Homo-oligomer: A and B are copies of this chain.
Amino acid sequence: MSSIRDVAKLAGVGVGTVSRVTNNSGYVAEQTRKKVEAAIKELGYEPNEMAKSLIANNSKIIALILPTIHHPLFSKFAYHVEQVLNANGYKLLICNSNFEVEKELEYIKLLNKKVIGGIIFITNSNINDYLSENLPIVTIDRHLSNEMIYISSDNYAGGRQAAKHLLSKGCSNLGFLGGFPNVETEVHKRKQGFNDFLTDKNIPYTSFEEEDVIEDFDKYIEQFWNKHSSLDGVFAVTDILAYKLINYLHSIGKKVPEDVKVVGYDGIDLFDISQTKLTTIVQPIDIMGEAAAESVMNIVEKKKVKHKYILPVELRQGEST
């Protein structure tokens, strides 16, 4: 690979001039520019980005830390993040944390090592203690500190809509199927919205959650139904839980939506893979990804950043209610 000096020599100019040409900065005579460009072409010269970053003391690489990229919601999110970043000359690094704090911390270190310039963070870990203020980090569905930018869908409104919808469909025995709320995330507000809507109307409902993470989801669903088999309307906190519940109900001879109606949350894309279209609260995951990308870039470039994005959700009518 040829360096800036090779180009300078071939073009018969100084390295400063070459730098000015490749960066379109400062003055350079049209004649000289032509000579330099010719030399660049002849040598197939490409500026070494490492050297540039070393001087600029920054990196145009953004890391996306998430539990696993192998999840339809996250991979769609990642897609949109990458599209926006790339349009602005940034690159996207992916880290599957698998919920391991050590791996998350490792990537935070890359911030100091200047490998990456910023982080978009989807996590349930308690990493507050490890984070100093004013780090170029954007979190999703998580309000870590007052300083930190975060983005989420309107979980609270979504919970309310789910309750309202189930009622409007004639359900009288409502239930909430939650996950593992061991950490305080914005996702809790789904339940809160659901609860508040019903409580305001003095309508009782049952709730099922599990403090400890359970490996076997099918067992989890079974436990849920064994305890609450009289329900005729369920709000599942994620689409995947909703689908699993529907499959379970079918397996025990219950009909959806006739016997039980189910509403999910997320709006994951299915590529026509599912036969029953799920009624669900759709997050604008594309917009969320774009907002996340723009926010990190703004932090990195020290521009103004909105501290908080709460994006509107929408109920999509499917065949499960």
Which residues of chain A have a CB within 8 Å of any CB of chain B?
Answer: 1, 44, 46-51, 53-54, 59, 61, 68-72, 74-76, 78-79, 82-83, 86, 91-96, 103, 109-110, 112-115, 217-218, 239-240, 243-244, 246-247, 250, 268-276
Contacts and interface: CB of A to CB of B under 8 A. Distances in A.
A243 B69 contact: no
A122 to B, nearest CB: 14
22 contacts: A1-B112, A1-B114, A46-B109, A47-B113, A48-B54, A49-B113, A50-B54, A50-B59, A50-B114, A51-B54, A61-B115, A69-B75, A71-B75, A82-B96, A86-B103, A91-B115, A92-B95, A93-B93, A93-B94, A243-B271, A247-B272, A268-B273
A250 B275 contact: yes
A271 B53 CA distance: 41
A-B residue pairs, 5 tightest by C-beta:
A75-B75, A70-B79, A46-B112, A49-B113, A50-B54
Contact of A96 (B46, B70, B83, B239): B83
Contacts of A71: 75, 271
Contact of A69 (B48, B69, B272): B69
A93 B95 contact: no
A83 B93 CA distance: 13
B275 A247 contact: yes
B61 A68 contact: no
B272 A243 contact: yes
A125 to B, nearest CB: 17
